A and B are shown apart, each in its own frame.
Chain A
Amino acid sequence: MPVRLYLNNVGKSFTMHLQDGTVIPVVEKVEFSVNEGECVVLGGPSGAGKSSILKMIYGNYRCDEGQILVTIGDEIINVAGAEPRQVLKLRENTIGYVSQFLRTIPRVSAEDVVAEPLIAQGASEAEGQDTARALLARLNVPERLWTLPPATFSGGEQQRVNIARGFIAHYPILLLDEPTASLDAANRAVVVRLVEEKKAKGVAMVGILHDQDVREEIADRIIDVTGFAAEVAA
């Protein structure tokens, strides 16, 4: 199986200037790869740096050290050194991110929020909306909500809108940031099926999943992030 994503000697720390420049080391020497069609789950307790690793892959956090290599066709791109517009292009077509938190945009309806990534990849508006509605239905978001902006939805409803948005388009690499947290069993099962479908399409996935059952169902491999704990600077 071809490698889609390779993290090479990745390190990250935060310098808190508002707290006298305290340096908080997060991870160092992170090294792993993810193959096509494989789902790798990051393990370890809260604060171990799982989320930071995911955010560095997405270009949301800066990567201080090392390389994050993404293979697209016969090209290899280093996210860690990419220009902003390159990262944006990657996010449009190559790397997707499913999180639990929806950033709502004023006046944009749930179905448009969900359809947007697919339309950005070139789908027609009608196709985007049809696919969005189908996904919202699968995730049991009540139909009467589809045309409303999600700002006033319940937390669970917003989360499912966001999951639909994260899964609607095809990305060769998909990052899952606790997509099933606080979902009920029925919706968890839907997410598990969505993940299986992505796997079947060869999508390489990296996930954070605290839910033991879901993790066992979808993880091909678990990487313990505590192995990458950074030494506390003297």
Chain B
Amino acid sequence: MNALMPDEPLLQVHNVTRYYGDRVGCSNVSFDLWPGEVLAIVGESGSGKTTLLNCLSTRLAPTAGAIEYRMRDGSMRNLYQLTEAERRLLMRTDWGFVHQNAADGLRMNVSAGANVGERLMAVGERHYGNIRSTADDWLGRVEIESDRIDDDPRSFSGGMRQRLQIARNLVTRPRLVFMDEPTGGLDVSVQARLLDLLRRLVADLGLSVVIVTHDLAVARLLSHRIMVMRQGNVIENGLTDQVLDDPREPYTQLLVSSILQV
């Protein structure tokens, strides 16, 4: 059975702690993320989930702890000991980051095609025709009509912008994607479409994902594993349906019992 499973984690997180002055952002978080695994970090606002996501994605240096990542050559590297050039290359090629607010992850004043093409150019693609056709292909995969390729995202609806942001992130075939409330602020039907799209893309591309969400339904649909955070600490973690169907900690039980039934 082990022969069928990758036996080396993609990301190893050791005791990551981040203080804001005296206040704790997140405290002593450790976990492994495996290739192809989708990990959801859930918890209420202020629980430290976004702090943790930012530490993992090198956007915010932890106060203590270490994060190691398996590079494409197989070597395990401490993320905060990479050179700035190495780190930027990683973020441009091997990683993606999907922001809650699409405008934070897009360039709003260039065309949809250029938003996707730009990441390709960053990895060395120079042929205009190839870039445009790849961009067009990716717009199709996120269900944006070809005739919108030259429009800039300011003219897109919220759902379209979010899909464009996803295309921009996935075009370089990253191995690890961070997502911060990717469906937050979208209305339900738009959310459902985006979730279905994400679910398919993640499975088709075999992506590893760390997704922050406060929506347990999103976690259930997308993730294999859940970490529940409260006041900066991971209080419970395990298989997604096990944590949601048989929650053990008082706070997790409260979270699960607070879901509105439709």
Contact = CB atoms under 8 A, between A and B. Distances in A.
A17 B249 contact: yes
A77 interface: yes
A86 interface: yes
B3 to A, nearest CB: 10
Interface in A56-87: 59-62, 72, 75, 77, 84-87
Contact of A84 (B4, B224, B250, B254): B224
Contacts of B5: 85-86, 89
A148 to B, nearest CB: 14
Contacts, number: 59
A84 B1 contact: no
Nearest to B191: A106
Contacts of B242: 59-62, 84
Contacts of A93: 4
B245 A55 contact: yes
B196 A17 contact: no
A87 B1 contact: no
Given A107-B192, A107-B196, A60 B249 contact: no
A164 B239 CA distance: 25
B183 to A, nearest CB: 11
A54 to B, nearest CB: 12
Contact of B248 (A62, A75, A85, A107): A62
A17 B239 contact: no
Nearest to B253: A17
A126 to B, nearest CB: 17
A107 B190 CA distance: 12
B241 interface: yes
B239 A87 contact: yes
Nearest to B250: A17
A115 to B, nearest CB: 14
B196 A84 contact: no
Chain B at the A interface: SS class: helix
Contacts of A17: 249-250, 253-254
B195 interface: yes
Contacts of B250: 17-18
Given A18-B257, A55-B245, A89-B1, A105 B221 contact: yes
A60 B246 CA distance: 8
A108 B196 CA distance: 8
A106 B245 contact: no
B107 interface: no
Interface in A13-27: 14-18
Interface string A91-123: 001000000000001111000000000000000
B195 A106 contact: yes
Interface string B162-192: 0000000000000000000000000000001
Nearest to A72: B1
Contacts of B34: 85
Interface string B207-234: 0000000000000010011000000000
A87 B241 CA distance: 11
Contacts of B253: 16-18
Interface centre among B37, B239, B257 (most CB of A within 10 A): B239
Contacts of B225: 84-85
A108 B221 CA distance: 12
A17 B257 CA distance: 11
Interface of A: 14-18, 55, 59-62, 72, 75, 77, 84-89, 93, 105-108
8 contacts: A17-B254, A61-B246, A62-B246, A86-B5, A87-B239, A89-B4, A105-B199, A108-B196
Q: Which 6 A-B pairs have the closest CB atoms?
A: A17-B250, A106-B192, A84-B239, A61-B246, A107-B196, A84-B225
